[in-house]
Structure 1
Amino acid sequence: MFALTHANGWIEANVEDAVAELDRMIAVDTSFPPGLGYDDFAGLMEELVAPLGFSSERVVVPAALWQAPNGPAAGSRTNLVASRASGRPVCGLYFHVDTVPAAAGWETDPLQMKREGDRLIGLGAADMKGSIAAILLALRAAQACAVELAYDPMLLFCTDEEGGLYPGIRHLAEQGRLEGHVLNFNGSAEARIWAGCFGLFNLLVRIHGQAVHAGEGNRKGSGLNAIEGALPLLNALTELKAKVATRVSALPPPPGKPPLSAQLNLAAIQGGTAGGQVPALVELTLNRRYAPEERFEDALAEIEEVVRRSIAAVPGLTVETTLVGHLMPTADPTGPHWPRWQAAMGEGFGYAPEQFRKWGAASCSDFGWVQRATGQQEVLLGGLGRPDRNIHSPGEYTTVPDIVSLAKAVLSYLAADFRPDINPDLPPSQS
């Protein structure tokens, strides 16, 4: 254990290198939609992992899988797989490289990291580019301090987790590109045992009217205002939202939080061109988060029926719906590696075993697709998420101590000397 202890000290002494790398990651705009920065981010990752002895391969998701008519995605869906084979069992280390777009209200440039003491502020700092910086720091410490590893890390830098139609990890799983078990860093820095999560889908609704000069808009038979025509639909969706929210899941909620329930949200609305023209088109993006107990097909059909009925009530309007994003629910991801990962999280963050609690989330993951494609239920979960980190909101941040702690946790988990007694990949004689 001397090498591991030495490496933990090395992590503390060299964390500023990880901070500098996080600054570079945040500066690459990988916001989805549209997802135009994936090539540039893959190039940065290739540069950072090469000195660690990884060979990298870019894997592009074919456009036919992710393109949708009038959908929000654009650009190459470039995933990066970095590996180094030594004959050890493989542990996949998964990161989604996309962020949500920067919302209104940022007081700083979201693509330029700002530091306030130990606080590191920027788009994707916690979700989840900070995790990438932490794991690279851990691997660098292992190299510098000659820590023997129990696993060959396979780094998976993947696209379109933020509600995409065909996330990169889904494509890798369906192509048989995953090996061993996987540690997913789209999670929490808290003492958490993951119980699984909801699914989600995004539905684009396009309502068509007829454009005319605004001065003619009130005359009978002249023009058809798509925005005004959408009002019955908006009212109907508000009623449906309340109905959907009554559907409570059996997934255990986070400690101290109410039961997890299904959600329907109007996520985006666009329409019109100028004050001098009756608008001919309004576009709505609906986000539906559905519990594992619900069927995707039923949830989708329910919304489409409300859309058709509401628009049919306004003569002359037409409507089309397109599925532009879908993440399946992730079933209970427990498995034989969880006790050791829990012990590693305790080692890195200082949690006692009795502090860990099991809970699920209405937030979503792209690992439901992995479970379906591979038949492997187990997914380990960690990361830098905490309730106060403003994830998906202005002022998103992580902290230097959390980067250090996550790096130590991952290094412990990968190290051969750490808790061999509960390593399920060791022969009984070595455990």
Structure 2
Amino acid sequence: MTTNLSSDLAQAIQEIAARGEEAVADLARMIALDTTFPPGAGYPAFAALMTDLIAPLGLAMRRVDVPENLWKVANGPAAGRRTNLIAARDTGRPQLGLYFHVDTVPAAPGWQRDPFMLTREENRLYGLGAADMKGTIAAVLLALRVAADRNLPLAYDPVLLLCTDEEGGLYPGIRYLAETGDMPGHVLNFNGSAAPRIWAGCFGLFNLQVRVNGHAVHMGEGNRTGAGINAIEMALPLLNGLHALKTKVAERSSALPAPPHASGPLRPQLTIAGAHGGTCGGQVPSRFDILVNRRYAPEESFEGAMKEITDLVEETLGGVPGLKVEIDLVGHLMPTADPNGPHWPRWQKALSLGFGYADADFAKWGAASCSDFGWVQKAGVTQEVLLGGLGRPESCIHSPDEHTTVDDVVALAQSVLAYLAADYASDLIPEPDLLS
């Protein structure tokens, strides 16, 4: 693994393997903090924890809150300050952004372990966010710690971007940083895979909340004409219509290359992701909230996909006497276009060093999963986005018992250290001023 490396870098790579328990300890502290979105109320506390973990590295740190008027929806699920943390070294070298989203999805029913406590079983590390993506933060901190302790010369000044609301939020933190010019254009996104993957881009998504408002009365009066309006029952035509539209949407396909493990082409998706209403058996339910998740292919338009649903709402519920319907966009991630660029060959070589891959192992594919980096591309910060991470098909990301492994955390740390190192594969560094 360390063949043809300088003596200093080879020793640093080996030291990462020897110090893997430090990353495990950091990950345990991160998992113990609830940063689930929705609602995303734990961001300030997580920023405080990260400040504590990053401080020994001597990086300059500052917090950036996304203004409430950009993300707040009256009927939406988000709550609390959207606190992003930037931690940067500035020695005059070109900067490398190291991006992480700090939010997780809520813990789904079915966990066999405490999702907010790191559980170690041999090589596996279980906990909410272990793979997506707090484990990547622990890996990068280990890499930076070893680099600092060994005074290893770096080609790039690292800039940690610890961001909010990637899990389907309306205004992700990295979008705000990109639009305000607060991030470097050369960036490593760790919301990816531990597999030998060349990223081809991904779908977009939006979350639409439909609130059906009826009228509550005593359940015993519910069968009297004009007494009440049952919001749940009135919403049944919409639910049936959404189910039919789901089939229609799934008949479409994308030209985006599918993963090697996929059974067919990537297809758009419509999902009834949430349904909440009613209070008790003695009261006609006056409100019913339906959350619709729509993953749209790059070939589709956001406006067209949205109109399909809003037209259906009007068709099924419009004009019903006494019924009031509200529609709110509560989350949106744009599709990410092909993020290829001049830095990829060296990052691929670094991944091969850490994970032991050969060039022939790598394949290019996209995903129906989504990223907040479509907003970065739209802001014009960069088209190129390097991708890495800890995701594997067996990692149970967004599912009960999410996990990563100590081996993968160490391998990612080694890859990051190699990519940062000034004397690693210098012939593949595209910046002319770094070659002189």
TM range (shorter): over 0.9
- The amino acid across from 2:84 in the alignment is N
Correspondence 1:82-93 to 2 at 5 A? 82-93=87-98
Offset, 1:308: 1.1
Q: What is the aligned counterpart of 2:85 among 73, 76, 80? A: 80
1:28 equivalent in alignment to 2:33: yes
1:389 equivalent in alignment to 2:421: no
Number of the residue aligned with 2:318 = 312
1:358 equivalent in alignment to 2:367: no
3-state SS of paired residue (2:125)? strand
1:347 equivalent in alignment to 2:353: yes
Number of the residue aligned with 1:191 = 196
TM-score (norm 2): 0.97
3-state SS of paired residue (1:308)? helix
Q: Could you tell me how far apart the structure 2 residues matched to 1:342 and 1:161 are?
A: 25
Number of the residue aligned with 2:3 = none
Correspondence 1:230-379 to 2 at 5 A? 230-257=235-262, 258-312=264-318, 314-379=320-385
Q: Conserved in 2, the CA contact under 8 Å of 1:420 and 1:426? A: no
Deviation string 1:157-215 (CA, Å, 9 cap, x unpaired) is 00000000000000000110112400000000000000000000000100011111101
Q: What is the aligned counterpart of 2:103 among 98, 104, 112? A: 98
1:166 equivalent in alignment to 2:171: yes
- The amino acid across from 2:415 in the alignment is A
Deviation string 1:37-87 (CA, Å, 9 cap, x unpaired) is 100100111111111110100000000000012100000000000001001
Number of the residue aligned with 1:137 = 142
Instruction: Pick which of 24-33 and 305-314 moved more.
Output: 305-314
Q: Conserved in 1, the CA contact under 8 Å of 2:155 and 2:434? A: no
Number of the residue aligned with 2:231 = 226
Instruction: Pick which of 161-170 and 139-148 moved more.
Output: 139-148
Unaligned 5+ segments in structure 1 are none
Q: Conserved in 2, the CA contact under 8 Å of 1:3 and 1:146? A: no
- The amino acid across from 1:116 in the alignment is E
Deviation string 1:265-304 (CA, Å, 9 cap, x unpaired) is 0011100011000000000110000000111011101100
Number of the residue aligned with 2:412 = 406
Unaligned 5+ segments in structure 2 are 1-5
Q: Could you tell me how far apart the structure 1 residues matched to 2:117 and 2:171 are?
A: 29
- The amino acid across from 1:20 in the alignment is A
Offset, 1:247: 1.4
Deviation string 1:113-143 (CA, Å, 9 cap, x unpaired) is 1110110000000000000000000111111
1:59 equivalent in alignment to 2:64: yes
Q: Could you tell me how far apart the structure 2 residues matched to 1:180 and 1:99 are?
A: 25
Q: Could you tell me how far apart the structure 1 residues matched to 2:110 and 2:184 are?
A: 41
Q: Could you tell me how far apart the structure 1 residues matched to 2:185 and 2:199 are?
A: 19
- The amino acid across from 1:83 in the alignment is A
3-state SS of paired residue (1:382)? strand
Q: Conserved in 2, the CA contact under 8 Å of 1:224 and 1:280? A: yes
Number of the residue aligned with 1:42 = 47
Q: Could you tell me how far apart the structure 2 residues matched to 1:180 and 1:63 are?
A: 26
Offset, 1:7: 0.6
Q: Could you tell me how far apart the structure 2 residues matched to 1:221 and 1:427 are?
A: 77
Q: Could you tell me how far apart the structure 1 residues matched to 2:201 and 2:80 are?
A: 31
Q: Conserved in 2, the CA contact under 8 Å of 1:32 and 1:99? A: yes
Q: Conserved in 1, the CA contact under 8 Å of 2:246 and 2:269? A: yes
Offset, 1:428: 8.2
- The amino acid across from 1:260 in the alignment is L
Q: Could you tell me how far apart the structure 2 residues matched to 1:331 and 1:68 are?
A: 28
Q: Could you tell me how far apart the structure 1 residues matched to 2:229 and 2:338 are?
A: 49
Number of the residue aligned with 1:175 = 180
Number of the residue aligned with 2:128 = 123
TM-score (norm 1): 0.98
Number of the residue aligned with 2:206 = 201
Deviation string 1:292-339 (CA, Å, 9 cap, x unpaired) is 011101110110000111113744322110000000000000000011
Q: Could you tell me how far apart the structure 1 residues matched to 2:368 and 2:245 are?
A: 18
3-state SS of paired residue (1:383)? strand
3-state SS of paired residue (2:308)? helix
1:157 equivalent in alignment to 2:162: yes
Offset, 1:374: 2.1
1:111 equivalent in alignment to 2:113: no
Q: Could you tell me how far apart the structure 2 residues matched to 1:256 and 1:115 are?
A: 28
Q: Conserved in 2, the CA contact under 8 Å of 1:93 and 1:184? A: yes
- The amino acid across from 1:152 in the alignment is D
Q: Could you tell me how far apart the structure 1 residues matched to 2:95 and 2:397 are?
A: 30
The number of aligned residues is 430
- The amino acid across from 1:403 in the alignment is V
Q: Could you tell me how far apart the structure 2 residues matched to 1:242 and 1:36 are?
A: 35
3-state SS of paired residue (1:215)? helix
Percent identity, aligned pairs only, is 64
